[in-house]
Structure 1
Amino acid sequence: MFIDRVEVEFTAGKGGDGCMSFRREKFVPRGGPDGGDGGTGGSIVLEARVGVNSLALFATRRFFRAEKGKHGEGSMRHGRKGQEMRLFVPCGTSVIDAADGYVIKDLTHPGEEFVICRGGRGGHGNARFKTSVNQTPRERTLGNPGETRHVILELKSIADVGLIGKPNAGKSTLLSRISSARPEIADYPFTTKFPNLGIVDVDIERSFVTADIPGLIEGASEGLGLGHEFLRHVERAGLLVHLVEPTPVDGSDPVENYTTIRDELCQYDATLGERDELVVLTKCELDPDGEVLERLQQHFAENPVKHKRDLLSISAASEIGLRDLVEEIMQRVTKRRLEMLDAGEDLNPIREVDMPTEATKSRRTPPHKAGSTAALSNDHQARDIPSIWGKQSPTGRTLAPTPPSETPKDDTKSDEHS
C-alpha cells in the first residue's frame, strides 16, 4: 500500500513526579528527607532511512505516545527515564504543521533526524528542598507534560527522473522494460493510481531512480484527475521525461497534449517549466511515416525554451530505442550529480547496501596475547623460546632469564671422586 500523505499527532512522554519521603531506619534517630526525582519522559524522533518507501506505518495509527518517566521513590531513588520513540520515514518526507501549514523540517538525506516532540522534565523530590532552615521539607514538584504536535507528513519522492504524460502514454510499460519494477499495465487510461519507483541499472557502476507519475489531464493543477495528488513527486526530480503518444485513444492531437501537460506543470510550479526535459515519442510503430515526430520537431523550432530539450522516438513493447534513451538519461543524470557535488551537496544512496558502514571498534588485546608472549601456549612454553627472555613484557616487567636446561651428569667425574 502506497501512502504519501498522512495526518498524525505526536505526544512525548510526561515526566515522572517527585517523591516526598523521609528516612526511617533503626539506629538512625535523625533521618531527614530522601525523596528522589522523577524521570524525564521519552521523546519522539523522526529519522529518514533508505529502504523505507512509503508512509504506510502511519496509515492505520494516527496517534503516537512516547513512554512516561517513572516516579521517584524513597531512599533517594530517582525514576527511570522514558524510552525514546524512534520512527523511520522515507527520504524526502516533509513535516508540516497542521494548524499553520509551515514546513517544520524537510528530511531529505539518509540518517537525517530531528526531535519532533521532547519529553517532559521529571519533578523534584523533597530532598531537593532541604536547607539549613528547612530540614524537613514537605514540598515536591510534579513532572511536566511532554510536547504535543499535530503534523502532516508529506512524501515527495527523491528520484533522478520523473516520467510524465497523458494517461495511457506508456509510462508504466517503459518503467517495466528498463527497470525491475512491475507496475500495473492495461489498455485503458488511469491504470496507474499511485507513483511507482524503479531503479534502472545501466551497468555495474551506473544507475538512477525513476518515478512513474499517474497520467495528467487538463486541469490537473486545479485538482482534476488523479495526477494532481502526485505532482509533488516530480518536484525533486532533476530530469523530466515527457512521453507523448502518437495516436491517443481519445483522438486528441499529440502536439496539443504535449502543450497541455506543459501548461499544467507551469501552473502547479513555475520551476518545473524551467527544468531539463527529454521528450519521448512512444509507440513509434504507430507512426511509421514519422509525421508526428516531424510535427513535434517543428513545434519545438517555433517555440524555443530556455532549458535543454531533446526529442527521441522509442517503442517500449518492441524495445526500439530503449538503449539510446537509457544512455541519454544516464548522461544527464551524471552531469547533474557532478554539479551537485561541485555545489557541496551530498548524493543520496540508491539502495540500502550503498549506505556507508561504520567501522567496528577493535577489541582490546589482552597483555598476555601481545608482544613477545603472544606465541606462548601449552606446547610452546617460555623455556622453549629463549629469545624472549631478558626483554620487557607488555606490562613493563623484565622477564627473568630462562633456567639452564637439564644436562646429563658427567659419569667420569663421579667415578674419580668415588
Structure 2
Amino acid sequence: MPTRRSVLEILTAGGALGAVGCASPAGPDPAAAWRNPGAGERDPRRWALAHAILAPNPHNRQPWLVDLPGTDEIMFYADTTRLLPATDPPNRQITMGCGAFLELLDLAARQRGLRADMTIWPEGEPQPVLDGRPVARVRLVADPSVKADPLFSQILKRHTNRAEYDLKAPPSAEDLTRVTRAAAAPLIAGSVADATGLARLVDIGARGFAREMTTPAAAMESAKLTRIGRAEIAQHRDGISLQGPFLEGMAAIGLLSREAMADPDSFATKSAIDMWAKSIRATPAFVWLKGPDNSRATQIASGRAYARMHLTATALGLSMQPWSMTLQEFPEMAALYRETQDALGASPEAPLQMLVRIGRAKAAEAAPRRGLDQHIRT
C-alpha cells in the first residue's frame, strides 16, 4: 500500500498538488487505467487484471507481474525490481500490496461469473525477502453459483486520501464497525476513536514521520521515486506525483531537487515534519489490522482485508490513508515500532499489519497507473 508523499507536497498545504488525471502532451495519460478498465478485452483474465492494477500499494510502486499460460490461468509474481529496501526491508508492505491486487482480481472475476481458484505461494513462501517464486497461481472457472460482490462498484472510487480530515464529522461507531468487519477471520481489525487512544497514536505517528524524514536512506528512497511535473508523471506513471505551477516553477529554477528532499536538515524537511504533524492531528479515528502471525500468507491475507476495508469505507463516504511509518522495519524505526505495537496490544509474533487514518475529507485524485500491458510478461 503508498503512505507518504514527498516533503514538498505539503509545503503548499495541499493546494499545489494538481489533478493527475489530465492528459499530458509529454506522454500517456497517467490516469487512463481508471477509466473503463478492461474495455474491449475479450480475454476475461485481462479484463479482471485491468481492475486488479488499481489496487492500493506502497509508494505506488505497482509491483505486479503476470504470465498468462493456457486459456484460464494466471501466474502472479512480485516484481522484485520494484521493492522498497530502505523503508520495507523484509518486503512486508510490498507483499500486502500483492494481496490487495489479488482481492481486486477476485472481485472482478466474480463480476463476470467466474470463480478465482487461488493457490498462494505454490512454490513456498520466500524468506527473508521476496524472490522469483510466484505469489499465486490463479485459475478462472465459470461457476453459476458465484455472486457478484457489491464492493466491486467501489473500485474506481477508492483513492488514498492524505488531506486533513473533518474533526467535526467523525465516522460513526456503526461505520467503524462496518469497516473493521470487512476483515475476515483469522485476521482481527479494530478501531480507535476515544480521545486518549487518539492522542497516543497521533503522538507516535507524528514522531514516526519525523524519524523517517530524518533517516537519510528512507528519505532518499522517497525522493528518488518523486515525479515532479506533468512530464515526469506521464513518463513514469508510478511513484509519488507532484505537479502544479508552484512546484514546477520551483523545479525549473532549481529550488526543488531530490537532494533537498532527502536532506534531513533542509527547510523542506523541517516544514514537512510540521505540516504532517498538523495532518495527523486532523484524524478523528484510526483503524488497525493484525493477523495470527507474520507469515507471508498472513501478509497476503492482510492486503486482501485492507482492500476490502478501504472499499467498504469508500461506500460509506469515508476516506482512508495508511499511516505506516512506525510499522516499518528498518533499524532507526525500531523503538517507535515497538511503541506502536504496544499501544494496540500486538506482539512480535502477531504484529500489526496496518494502521490507517479514517474520516471525511474532500475527494482525492486517482494515483497514476502504468497500464495493464506493463504488468504482463508473456
Q: TM-score, normalised by structure 1?
A: 0.22
If you compute each CA radius of gyration, which structure gives the higher value, 1 or 2? 1
**More strand by percentage:** 1
**More helix by percentage:** 2
Whose RCO is larger (CA < 8 A, sep 6+)? 2
Q: TM-score, normalised by structure 2?
A: 0.23
